[in-house]
A and B are shown apart, each in its own frame.
Chain A
Amino acid sequence: MRFEYKVEGGDFTQAGYAASQVKKNLKQLGVDSSVIKRVVVALYEAEVNIVAHAYRGVIYADIESSGIKLKLVDEGPGIPDVTRAMTKGFSTASPAVREMGFGAGMGLPNISENADSLLIETEVGKGTTLNIEIRF
């Protein structure tokens, strides 16, 4: 079962919508609450990443009986150095973004910690695609 959510860059007031909707669906399906928590945290971070860094993006959530696959495709600047972006505390967020409480440099590491698998495809100047998998 596939769900699709559009995300606009810079729209912080709406950030978290996809995470909330996915959470609601997983709860209705009776998925274990500790698993839901991991999905929500990973998805929320990834969603905020699009809002904070990209121009726009689409989130696809595929829910199967075995688990959830999240695909976040954005049009944006891409990540020049994925290894550094995966380092805790590393952040390229602008001061304005940090002032809103985002951009502490925990995004990708936090996603990775909560996911069973994380695959990052990125092209500088074009955009980034995250593939996150969490098993039930």
Chain B
Amino acid sequence: MSRGLSVDPSDAVPLWKQIEENVRRLVASGALKPGAAVPSVRDLARELSINPATVAKGYQRLVDAGILAVKRGEGTFVADKPPVPARGERDRELEAGATRYASLAVTLGAPSDEAVEHVKASLKMLRRKSSGGAE
């Protein structure tokens, strides 16, 4: 599973947030099925060479959001029923992202088709990455 999980320490986004977003993405894309096991804090920290406290924080947020669940003595797993983001919120996020991207395309003077092609290609690549290491 961790094949789909990578972090960039020098990235602007805090590491714990990167982990959180990565896991959300994997779960949402179906690469991580409900009930599937995720690496322990220790193992993931070792693999990524990052502070376990950081991993722990990301996991905690995921647990709080109901995406992950801890089973005592057995480990951490994807929740049986991970919440799906509310439609309204999802639409707002997509719209905000689209607006940002569109203004960027306009600024750069890219024609609409080209802009859309880029979006499709990115989606494809990301989806492939997420499912590449899936069980």
**Do the two chains belong together in a single complex?**
no
